[in-house]
Amino acid sequence: MRRSAKEAEESARRITRRALFLGGAQAAIVAVLGLRMRHMQVEEADTFRLLAEENRVSIRLIPPARGQIFDRAGVLIAGNEPNYRVVITREDARDVAAVLERLARLIPLTPEDIERTLAETRRRSPFVPITVADRLTWEELARVSVNAPALPGVTPEVGLSRYYPLVEDFAHVAGYVGPVSEADLARYETPDPVLQVPKFQIGKVGVERMMEDVLRGQAGSRRIEVNAAGRVMRELDRREGTRGADIRLTVDAALQSYVQARLGAESASAVVMDCATGDLLAIASSPGYDPNLFVRGISSADYRRLLDDDHRPLSNKSVQGAYPPGSTFKMVTALAALEAGVITPETVVRCPGHYEAGGRRFHCWKRGGHGPVNLVRSLSESCDVYYYDIAQRVGIDAIARMAERLGLGVRHDLPMSAVAEGLNPDRQWKRERRGQEWRIGDTINAAIGQGYVLSSPLQLAVMTARLATGRAVKPRLIAAVDDVPVPVPEAPPLGLTPSHLAAIRQGMYEVTNSRNGTAHSSRSVDRAMLIAGKTGTSQVRNISEAERARGVLRNDQLPWNRRDHALYVCYAPHDAPRVAVSVVVEHGGGGSAAAAPIARDIILHALTGGLPPLTAYPESQRNRIETDQRNLRLRPIAEGAGAGRTRA
């Protein structure tokens, strides 16, 4: 059937529209493809070039710079120094053993180093860089950099490492850092990812450990492009971390160095405390050790030497040591009796050289006795019988409560490792811990700081500061964090009767300034720096009646570790106390001979800010003191070094 002209025209018109539609669709598709090709070839060229070359992008953590530690005047105690190191990434190295073999031709690597690195790469994720060697020289680092194309997965880096410029002086205070261990990771419920970075170092002891979260900072990250051979092509992006906060301690570096030198080779400790604020101006333990050895990786021989030393250099005796306080405890017994009203300062007790109680004889240190003594004389001449007697009147429970009031038997809150709690024994303690009832002899021993009583040098310094001020002064070690001062806690009154405190202070004054005082030879003759103190000697062995009958052996006749501990506590000036000091010399013999001379030198240095002036010593001692001062091995302290250091 023939179509009409009109129908033919309409059909042609429809065909033309379809052609135009199809043509337009094809043109649109071509345009989209063209635009996509342009986008891929021009705008995403770098991305596809990475894929074409089998390159990949790795994200690596940037360890933060550790906060530094300064003394109260800004002298650097713990800082950071550049550390050249080489790391390897397993996923980039492919054959790690072969790469390490080539690397060993360029830098010193022992078979043990290689085996350790291989074990570490197997234990860690393949993308985590493993430190192969650190503390390289610039020349060694340069050799690795030049040979980088032949060392896939190996990256030379410049990092920071901890160092301690004052070496032994602050080893027990600042502590040291070391590589993260499994035990360290177990301390955290959700460990910081940066702790997984091999050889990343964190605080192990001392302030470094206790203030770890403040000092560490927050890690940064960087995106790097590496090729198929594992070579780093370029850094794509970097996000810097946040460095750790700087910490300023209350300790005076010059005084600390002097105290450490003055303790010398003794197994001893000393604490210097500001009576008003509680600031620890020095807190020393002897002998010390070099904390830098631990940062660099201490050898087995060096570590064994420290462990085998009978003077225990790794122990911080100033806060960890717990000793029978000996006669330095007599102020506690006296105050307990005074406050309970069982004696007055004028109460007299006759000392025949011994005290009978419970069918036993308890001896005074002075075999012939002191005769009639009151409170002041009992302290001045350290009569034991006086305290045996008054302790029986007041009882052990009141003595224990007074000891706690004065800061003994209390674990003081300081950012230091293993701060000792000490021990103030009472009836309940013995019943619970020993399953025994308290006995008369226990009270008599406790009255003079023997038996079960234990105190640390830190606690003895706190006790002395509280006696000097009549206030509950608390020790503190952190002065500021990132230049923001840490508030000084208020020291409320102890609530002790002023006349009773005055009597105790008078007795301590007589200890050093009375001709018959046990520390008279360690007095100061400078009227502006007169010292009030108390000697102490604590036995570490029992003396049998048979030995007493034939004559008690002198300390110098005994092996070193069987000799008595020597103690001395003091404050000065006696009429306006500024500084309190405690000194403990392990197995030093008598407190008056071994501990008091050290404490006098320390407190004079603390008051004057330098070597004690010879005019503060009795004239007969000045030549010897001058010689001793010349022979002291003092570490030079750059005054104000690092002062004003602020957070970047």
Helix, coil or strand: residue 574: coil
CA dihedral 108, 110, 111, 113 (to 10 degrees): -90
How far apart, in whole angstroms, are the C-alpha atoms of residue 89 and residue 103? 14
Residues 6+ positions from 410 with CB-CB distance below 8 Å: 404, 421, 422, 459
Pairing of strands 69-70, 247-249: parallel
Q: What is the Cα–Cα distance from 364 to 382, expressed in whole angstroms?
A: 9
Question: CA-CA distances (angstroms) from residue 248 to 72, 175, 379?
Answer: 6, 15, 39
Contact 65, 244 (CB under 8 A): yes
In angstroms, the CA 323 to CA 422 distance is: 8
Long-range own/partner contacts, residues 12-16 (CB < 8 A, 24 or more apart): none
**Cβ neighbour number for residue 561 with a 10 Å cutoff:** 11
CA 499 distance to own-chain centroid: 39
- Rounded to the nearest 10 degrees, what angle do helices 396-405 and 440-447 cross at? 30
Helix residue ranges, H only, 158-289: 171-174, 182-186, 206-210, 212-216, 253-263
Which residues fall within 8 angstroms of residue 215, CB to CB, at 6 or more apart?
66, 67, 69, 203, 208, 244, 245, 247
Least Cα distance to 450 among 363, 349, 545, 340 occurs for 363
Tell me whether residue 257 is one of the annotated catalytic residues. no
Residue located via tokens 């002897």: 286
Instruction: Give the dihedral sign, CA 538/541/546/551.
Output: negative
- Cβ-count burial of 42 within 10 angstroms (0-12 exposed, 13-18 middle, 19+ buried)? exposed
Query: 349-351 and 371-373: which strand pairing?
Result: antiparallel
Distance CA 47, CA 34 (A): 19
**Strand (E) positions, 352-510?**
354-357, 360-363, 371-373, 478-481, 484-485
Could you tell me how many residues make up the chain?
648
Q: CB 310: neighbour CB atoms within 10 A?
A: 9
Cβ count near 419 (within 10 Å): 20
Q: Which residue among the candidates 161, 327, 378, 380 is catalytic per the annotation?
A: 327
Residue labelled with tokens 């399953």: 435
Q: Find out whether the peptide bond into 372 is cis, omega within 30 degrees of 0.
A: no
Enzyme catalytic residues: 327
